[in-house]
Structure 1
Amino acid sequence: MAGGIIKVSRNTENAPKSELSSQTVAFSHYNNFSAQLPVDPKTGEIVVGDVKEQAKQCLTNIKAIVESIDHVMDDVVKINVFLKDIADMEAVDEVYASFFQNLIPTRTVVQVAALPMSDARVQMDALISNGEGTAPQEPCPLVKLTRNTENAPKDALASHTVAFSHYNNISAQLPVDPKTGAIVEGGVKEQTAQCLKNMKAILESIDVPFDDIVKINLYLSDLANVDAVNEVYSTFFPDSAIARTVAYVPARSIIAADALPMGALVQIDASVSHGDGTPPQEVEDRHNIVIRANNTDAAPRNPLHTQTVAFSHYNHIAAQLPIDVASNAIVAGGAKEQAEQCLKNIKAIVESVDHVMDDIVKINIHLKDVADIEAINEVYTSFFQGDLPARTVVGVSQIEMDALVQIDAVVSNGEGTLPQVK
């Protein structure tokens, strides 16, 4: 259960509404936003114009939601940008820069196979700081810490890391050598190693160990490279003697990208625990608040990820494929049956840590065919009794095991992790 802290789901008339998601779901010190398409809330249709106009509308919708909950755009800590064509990135950046002029959020940019509305060329979702917390927490003037290091590639439109309260959010790292500014030589193994080296450099620059990562997102231009990527990945996790003792690995999602910035084969972003908090929270020993990793036999296991990793007031759930635990194979049927199995697996994980599905604050759905969303929606709502979570849906060209759908989630964790008190 979520404990005494309340999950707050909110919507505004000034941004497009959906019966299948809340525009923003706040829990403790973060607001989780649903993906915003370039839809004019007055007409319910895609705005007229080029990708610049569409990007502007996505960000205008995000801004409307932000302002509806008495926040400002400088409170944004992370933005995900999903493009139909990576060549549009420069045009989108021109608009993007006008919305973030002071505290630049972390960012991930990826070209996907499809978006929920066929005429959309861009979609964005966001994570927002929430210093006031949610009841019964007392409002607290927490500081957002935006930091960069010379030891990782810099981007004028993305901070390396933005910390707020007990999480660091790390921008997607491309396989770029920070000394040359170019993609490293070699294939996907060398590129994966460079992405992880860049991430490690960022964490070391803020005095955070690599094993404080709770969730990793791997974006691959070709899922045929998964085995090669995993070969390198497994040399970085576990990273410390303590982590090796308990065989700790973060939760993880693998997402197929139709293209990545700079023509990269791989990029990686992460959510990282931040035990010392941000001022004026009391500085704590970051090992004092415990990362709680959990696996259950009621859902598919994977040696390279933990099913759910909790830290402070959030649980991060690894991407779930439509695998039946008994057979260890993809369930029979189409997208509807597969989505149901993904959600059953998530439910099993959620219940294994004494939570319920209504504790979920954000859902990410990746589809082989975005047209399957209607069939998926038929089963989706049956898993939730209260307000629906924030949600992002994208079409991808590939999913592991040739599945039609995969789903990951973020779950509220009101009881916190030790030594916090329930």
Structure 2
Amino acid sequence: MSRYNAVLARNTENAPKSIGPYSQTVAFSHYNNLSAQLPIDPKSGELVAGGVKEQAGQCFKNIKAIVESIDHIMDDIVRITIFLKNISDIDAVNEVYAKFFPSYVPALTTVAVTALPMNALVQVEALISNGEGTIPEAPQAGDLIKAARNTENAPVSPLSTQAVAFSHYNNLSAQLPIDPRTGKLIAGGVKEQTGQCLKNIKAILESIDVPFDDIVKINIFLKNLSDIEAVNEVYKTFFPDSAIARAAAYVPARTAVAVSGLPMDALVQIEAVVSHGDGTPPQVVEDRHGIVIKANNTGGAPKSSLSTQTVAFSHYNHISAQLPLDPKTGEVVNGGVKEQAGQCLENIKTIVESVNHVMGDVVKINIFLKNIEDIDAVDEVYTTFFPGGIPARRTVGVSALPKNALIQIEAVVSHAEGTPPKA
């Protein structure tokens, strides 16, 4: 089995020990998935003294320590996600962020959430390129290059790159409803803003000759969860986009959450993860073309017309965020947060097993909690599904979840067999 991709979980003493049952970084194939970093001093295990600037600096120092512990550098980061307690702190955090990325800037998403673990003011996570891959004793295409690109047809920012591709994925910066000609929010309400976000994503993809239906995962951040139906109405006019996708009724995996604040006081922000069949050179031709998207639903987990339960491309499966819904009734299960957490994870397990994988193949888990105080109760359930604490993880408190749920969980799963052309 030494020739097969392996899930590689690692920790370093130079960064804070995880405050829950998860690893600092989990690599698979050509990506490293880092757990979201809190502003914890690794020596004391406590939050650093000071305000949001000091906390932001510590988050990035922790990321840098993890990155360097696995023989990488900060410029290998393809995406940064910043979670703020107060959106008004964005300029102060950006000032710190810029010091860690003085030339190259990754794809970027910034949102404000209701609460963070340990009552922190900021939490930062990173996705890292992994050119050497994870085949034991068989380095993979170590000379793969990162392709960072911008187009004037979408909003340009000095703090982020619109699209950063590595190997077989493109990671897009979260798009605000900004008119690229004026640099300002467009006029109108949430429908108009949703349309502009998706138009910006489409413009970025068209600039790199990637069709809209190559999106494998969409994340929607809403200021008001009550706007979800209006957003969905616009969303359905963009997906499916092509005749082929319509024939297959293909829609990406999806997550939608309410956040407490967005940059520029926007009502909605949307980010996308995109398949990149051509890869990033140098690659031999036979390794670059013909990889297919594999979308799958199972009757054993809740279904939605707006999302596919799991979308695989190359060496990853992207699973739509799971609510604590009983797949038979479509309703939230009875009980408290433990029962709801268990149902979310059961739904994920069912989806994972439906594509012939196991929970040990999960590399990243993202948890959205209505009450951050529920984290210990959730961990009690979580460890029964992940007794080894292997996946990297992020936990945030959000203002509201669909169906008034207490918890929602999404997952990224390794996919060793890849997605070659169908025979």
For normalisation by structure 2, the TM-score amounts to 0.97
**2:158 matched residue in structure 1:** 156
**2:122 matched residue in structure 1:** 122
Written as runs of structure 1 = structure 2, the 5 A alignment for 1:212-231 is: 212-231=214-233
CA distance in 2, matches of 1:96, 1:377: 31
Report the residue type matching 1:290 in the other structure.
V
CA distance in 1, matches of 2:181, 2:413: 39
Q: Which moved more, 1:405-414 or 1:387-396?
A: 387-396
**1:289 matched residue in structure 2:** 291
Give structure 1 stretches of 5+ with no counterpart: none
Offset, 1:283 = 4.7
Report the residue type matching 2:322 in the other structure.
Q
**1:317 matched residue in structure 2:** 319
Q: Which moved more, 1:377-386 or 1:333-342?
A: 377-386
Written as runs of structure 1 = structure 2, the 5 A alignment for 1:355-370 is: 355-370=357-372
Report the residue type matching 1:54 in the other structure.
Q
- 1:397 corresponds to which of 385, 396, 399: 399
1:172 alignment partner, SS class: coil
Offset, 1:141 = 1.0
CA distance in 1, matches of 2:334, 2:3: 37
Offset, 1:280 = 0.6
CA distance in 2, matches of 1:235, 1:7: 38
Question: Does 2:9 align with 1:9?
Answer: yes
Question: Does 2:105 align with 1:95?
Answer: no
**1:256 matched residue in structure 2:** 258
**2:280 matched residue in structure 1:** 278
Deviation sequence 1:51-85 (CA, Å, 0-9, x none): 11000000000000000000000000001000001
Offset, 1:286 = 7.3
Cα RMSD (Å): 1.6
Contact 1:2–1:415, Cα closer than 8 Å, also in 2: no
CA distance in 1, matches of 2:393, 2:317: 16
Contact 2:321–2:408, Cα closer than 8 Å, also in 1: yes
1:394 alignment partner, SS class: strand
CA distance in 2, matches of 1:2, 1:320: 33
**2:185 matched residue in structure 1:** 183
Report the residue type matching 2:194 in the other structure.
T
**2:415 matched residue in structure 1:** 413
**2:113 matched residue in structure 1:** 112
1:409 alignment partner, SS class: strand
CA distance in 2, matches of 1:96, 1:185: 30
Contact 1:335–1:404, Cα closer than 8 Å, also in 2: yes
Question: Does 2:64 align with 1:32?
Answer: no
2:299 alignment partner, SS class: coil
Deviation sequence 1:311-335 (CA, Å, 0-9, x none): 0000000000000112211000001
Identity over aligned pairs, percent: 67
CA distance 1:40–1:188, change in 2 (3 Å): same
Deviation sequence 1:251-308 (CA, Å, 0-9, x none): 0000111010000000000100000000111356977110000000000000000000
- 1:377 corresponds to which of 361, 376, 379: 379
CA distance in 1, matches of 2:373, 2:339: 15
CA distance in 1, matches of 2:3, 2:404: 38
Report the residue type matching 1:81 in the other structure.
I
Aligned positions, number: 420
2:237 alignment partner, SS class: helix
For normalisation by structure 1, the TM-score amounts to 0.97
Report the residue type matching 1:102 in the other structure.
S
Contact 1:172–1:270, Cα closer than 8 Å, also in 2: yes
Deviation sequence 1:186-211 (CA, Å, 0-9, x none): 10000000000000000000000000
Give structure 2 stretches of 5+ with no counterpart: none
Report the residue type matching 1:65 in the other structure.
I
Report the residue type matching 2:225 in the other structure.
L
Written as runs of structure 1 = structure 2, the 5 A alignment for 1:297-376 is: 297-376=299-378
